[in-house]
């Protein structure tokens, strides 16, 4: 699907009655476009992301929006590292090496498949948690939540710019090889890669989440 198709999809979604549209008994304005954008965002697998990806200016704007996530004490516990096209072969070699080390019986095809994962999307960002351990007010678990908010902002911003994106991790992310390739300090942790591009096809319907299973009224137990 090209950008025109995506825009049409967003328009169609905007015409659907949105759950977040103003309730009939409220005169509070609702940013329906933003609700439609959030509802319509879908992750698209890196192998289904083709050119074009965001321009350099667009990418800067997208990452800048990622930096507006909720962030206790302004720790900015995130880093996004662009893996440029010229570095993809090298990253692919690391993926292949990690596969061979983890699974010495892996076939040449399996190893090449891992290598090819580095070449897929037009734009590839490594996502790093840069934590502040033993902070007086902000435990690392909170910093990780902040990073998640930042990633979601980035995915939504990419979508708003007419691209699709996906965060992936996989077992290999935890390997010393990849951690050392992307982390500059012991407080850095590589947590995933974000791929961005134009979707060659959209994913299947997302399984519906039941509101009642995730949104309840507190029943005090005392
Ligand atoms: C930190 C993180 C890592 C993920 N890693 C993978 C992955 O390696 N492979 C995968 O298929 N999905 C992975 N996912 C899930 C997808 O990114 C995506 O959220 C999921 O397919 C749901 O699609 P949706 O965003 O369109 O609802 C990961 C999600 C998160 C938050």
H helices of the chain, in order, are 3-15, 32-40, 56-66, 88-102, 108-116, 140-160, 176-182, 211-214
Distance CA 117, CA 166 (A): 13
Mean pLDDT over 146-162 rounds to: 98
pLDDT at 133: 97
Residue 213 lies in a domain: no
| 200 token code pair | 């060659």
- Rounded to the nearest angstrom, the distance between the alpha carbon of 122 and the centre of ligand 1 is 18
User: Could you report the per-residue pLDDT of 80-129, keeping only the tens digit for each?
Assistant: 999 999 999 999 999 999 999 999 999 999 999 999 999 999 999 999 99
In the predicted structure, residue 11 carries a pLDDT above the cut 60: no
Among protein residues, the one whose CA lies closest to atom 11 of ligand 1 = 168
Residue 114 lies in a domain: yes
Distance CA 169, CA 188 (A): 16
Q: Pairing state of beta strands 164-168 and 123-130?
A: unpaired
Is the same domain home to 54 and 85?
yes
Residue 215 lies in a domain: no
Report the chain's C-alpha Rg in angstroms.
Answer: 20
Is the same domain home to 122 and 162?
yes
Is the same domain home to 146 and 52?
yes
Is the same domain home to 95 and 159?
yes
Poorest-confidence range of 62-66, 111-115, 202-206, 218-222? Answer: 202-206
Distances (CA, A) of 154 to 15, 61, 116, 143, 151: 25, 10, 24, 17, 5
Distance CA 193, CA 88 (A): 13
- Residues whose CB falls within 8 Å of the CB of residue 122, separated by 6 or more in sequence, listed in order: 49, 50, 51, 52, 53, 196, 197, 198
Is the same domain home to 162 and 84?
yes
Q: Which residues pair with 188 in a beta bridge?
A: 130
Residue 153 lies in a domain: yes
pLDDT at 116: 97
Residue 146 lies in a domain: yes
Q: Which domain holds residue 35?
A: 1-40
Which carries the bigger pLDDT value, residue 6 or residue 114? 114
Mean pLDDT over 174-202 rounds to: 97
Query: What values do phi and psi take at 149, rounded to 5?
Result: -65, -40
172-196: b or e for each residue (b if 16 or more CB lie within 10 Å)?
bbebeebeebbbeeeebbbbbbbbb
pLDDT at 25: 62
- Rounded to the nearest angstrom, the distance between the alpha carbon of 117 and the centre of ligand 1 is 15
Is the same domain home to 98 and 174?
yes
- Token match 């699974």: residue? 103
In the predicted structure, residue 1 carries a pLDDT above the cut 50: no
Is the same domain home to 35 and 126?
no
Is the same domain home to 90 and 6?
no
Residue 34 CB neighbour total at 10 angstroms: 13
Is the same domain home to 99 and 15?
no
Residue 176 lies in a domain: yes
- CATH of residue 177: 3.40.109.10
pLDDT at 66: 98
Is the same domain home to 169 and 110?
yes
Residue 171 lies in a domain: yes
Distances (CA, A) of 94 to 44, 82, 98: 24, 16, 6
- Rounded to the nearest angstrom, the distance between the alpha carbon of 45 and the centre of ligand 1 is 9
For the chain, the domain total comes to 2
Q: Is the CB of 149 under 6 A from ligand 1?
A: no
- Rounded to the nearest angstrom, the distance between the alpha carbon of 24 and the centre of ligand 1 is 35
Is the same domain home to 10 and 74?
no
Mean pLDDT over 9-33 rounds to: 60
CB 98 within 8 A of CB 177: yes
Query: What values do phi and psi take at 119, rounded to 5?
Result: -100, -5
In the structure, what pLDDT confidence band is assigned to residue 145 with cuts at 50, 70 and 90?
A: very high
Q: Is the CB of 170 under 6 A from ligand 1?
A: yes
Is the same domain home to 130 and 97?
yes
User: Could you report the per-residue pLDDT of 34-67, keeping only the tens digit for each?
Assistant: 999 999 999 999 999 999 999 999 999 999 999 9
């Amino acid at each position: 699907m090209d950008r025109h198709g995506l825009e049409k999809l967003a328009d169609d979604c905007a015409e659907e009655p949105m759950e977040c549209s103003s309730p009939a008994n409220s005169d509070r304005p609702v940013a329906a476009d933003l609700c439609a954008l959030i509802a319509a965002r879908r992750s698209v697998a890196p192998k289904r992301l083709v050119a074009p990806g965001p321009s350099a200016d667009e990418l800067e704007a997208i990452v800048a929006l990622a930096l507006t996530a909720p962030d206790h004490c302004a720790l900015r516990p995130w880093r996004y590292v662009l893996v440029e096209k010229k570095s993809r072969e090298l990253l692919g070699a690391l993926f292949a090496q990690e596969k061979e080390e983890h699974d010495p019986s892996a076939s040449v095809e399996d190893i090449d498949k891992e290598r090819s994962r580095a070449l897929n999307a037009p734009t590839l960002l490594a996502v790093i948690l840069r934590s502040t351990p033993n902070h007086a007010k902000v435990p690392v678990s909170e910093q990780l939540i902040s990073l998640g908010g930042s990633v979601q902002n980035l995915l939504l911003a990419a979508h708003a710019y007419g691209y699709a994106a996906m965060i992936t991790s996989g077992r290999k992310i935890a390997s010393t090889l990849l951690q050392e390739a992307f982390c500059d300090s012991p407080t850095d942790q590589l947590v995933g890669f974000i791929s961005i591009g134009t979707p060659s096809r959209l994913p299947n319907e997302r399984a519906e989440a039941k509101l009642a299973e995730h949104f309840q009224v507190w029943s005090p137990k005392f």
